Homo-oligomer: A and B are copies of this chain.
Amino acid sequence: MHHPRIIADGEELRRQVRAWQAAGETVGLVPTMGALHAGHLSLAARSVRECRRTVVTIFVNPKQFGPAEDFQRYPRDLIRDVELLAGLAASQQAREPDLVFAPAAEAIYPADFATHVEVGRVTQLWEGASRAGHFRGVATVVLKLFQLAPADIAYFGQKDYQQTVVIRRMVADLNLPIEIRVSPIVREPDGLAMSSRNAFLGPDDRRRALALSASLRQAVEMVRGGQRDARRISAAMRQTIGAVESVTLDYAAVVDPETLEELDRLDGRAVALVAAKVGAVRLIDNEILNPPAGV
């Protein structure tokens, strides 16, 4: 099994990406916080399919965690992550990524670091309301990664739907020369969205966590059944989640896919967003709602 090269130095990364591009090779970038699961691997596999070269970054970004959040105990296992990426060649009829960038926190945020990127209204809603400063941290590190790995295409998962909206907004507003591609959520067979935080769920909470995906399937069914009142859909989602022991709803809403503002009616494309604490573990999930045209 051939292993991707691991580098920690940002300048070395940039030189390599530029050398590939100078040779006419398209470069794909897959930013992750490690603790890779099938969702991440689907992004890496897509990049490998669509780009001549792929860089996977593994960096648990302290700036996107609040002071009371799980930065310290967020799962970290670089060796296992690299093994999983190397295994792509066998498991998905793909090549393995060319490079893993795994920098030290002090290299990304030196002691005198002071700059942040603020992406406005879309960072204030939903996850932004629950996690102050989260998207400022996300936008800042993603902008830095885009500078260190000036790739042609960057891959993100729909699982963090609001994050993809924030990043697309930043890319457009700051004229960043990179294309954003978003891949569907990968789910466990029972419907639970893949998440590095699922590892924290005990057996009871693992079962209870299905409330999130169940509420989203319910939303999809209601739309399929002709329901266009967005508030009725979100109320039903809240009821489904609220009925499960040890699950504390944060939000369930039907929103505009770009502005993320809550909708009253479904006239076009919409997204159902949900966040809840299952025991001590905070999980999010979402589904795109596509009412059939003319119904």
Query: How often does this chain occur in the complex, in copies?
Result: 2
Q: How far is the CA of A10 from the CA of B147 in the complex (A)?
A: 19
Chain A interface size, as a band, is 20 to 34
Interfacial residues of chain A within 83-136, with CB under 8 A of chain B in the complex: 113-122
Closest B residue by C-beta to A120: B114
Task: Say yes or no: is A175 at the interface (Cβ < 8 Å to chain B).
Answer: yes
Q: Is A182 an interface residue (CB 8 A)?
A: no
A14 interface residue per 8 A CB criterion? yes
Note all chain B residues with C-beta closer than 8 A to A254. Answer: none
Interface string of A126-165 (1 = CB under 8 A from B): 0000000000000110011001101000000000000000
Evaluate contact between A10 and B114: CB separation under 8 angstroms: no
- What's the least CB distance linking A178 to chain B, in Å? 10
| Complex contacts, A114 vs chain B, CB 8 Å | 119-122, 169, 173
User: How far is B174's CA from A115's CA once the two chains are assembled, in angstroms?
Assistant: 7
Q: Is A19 an interface residue, CB under 8 A from the partner?
A: no
- A116: which of B120, B144, B176 is its contact (CB, 8 Å)? B120
